Amino acid sequence: MAISRLETIITTTTNKTLQQQAAESLIAISPKNSIALQTLPQKPKSNQKPKNRKTKGNKQENTGRIIEALVEGIAASKNDESKRPRASTLEKFAPGNPIAFHTLLHLVKSASSNSVRKHTVEDLNKIMIDEQIADAVAFFQQDFSHQITEAEMEEFRHCYKLFWGVA
């Protein structure tokens, strides 16, 4: 499920940074994925191996496993309260990760409790990168009209806090 979402992001988005980040996340989960390999720039091959290659490889493997576990945890999670910390942690391990970012946006918009929305906004304000701000605005734009009732204002107050935090 996570692999197909990342492949969809890579093949449908025009944002090169987002494509790169999705490809890197996909490589961490599925190192031989052809779509991700085609997206990432090829590194020149060297005959010499770096001295610390084993340590670096182990660290990358561990990070890849952590990212994979977090993505699977988000996909498998049925409740908002367990999705939020997983998505926030994923975003910290892989800044700009599209799965984490979109999960957090959806939680701000539709979490079952105000507490989850509030904490999600706090998380997004801490971890959202500049390239994601326009996507966040576009995501919430359809929910706002020129005439907003008081009930709608209360419902979307967390969105306003998010935008205030990044402004």
pLDDT per residue as tens digits for the range 19-67: 887 888 877 778 788 887 888 775 545 555 555 555 555 777 788 888 8
* Token code pair at residue 117: 């929305």
pTM for the predicted model, two decimal places: 0.58
With contact defined as beta carbons under 8 Å apart, do 29 and 3 qualify?
Answer: yes
Question: CB neighbours of 140 closer than 8 A, spacing ≥ 6?
Answer: 105, 108, 109, 156, 159, 163
Q: Is residue 51 part of a domain?
A: no
Q: Which domain holds residue 66?
A: 2-40+57-166
Angle between helices 16-29 and 130-141 (to 10 degrees): 100
The answer as to whether 36 is a domain residue is yes
Amino acid identity, position 158:
H
Please count the structural domains in the chain.
Answer: 1
Q: Is residue 66 part of a domain?
A: yes
Is 48 a domain residue? no
pLDDT in tens, 72-119: 999 988 898 899 999 999 988 888 899 999 999 999 888 888 888 888
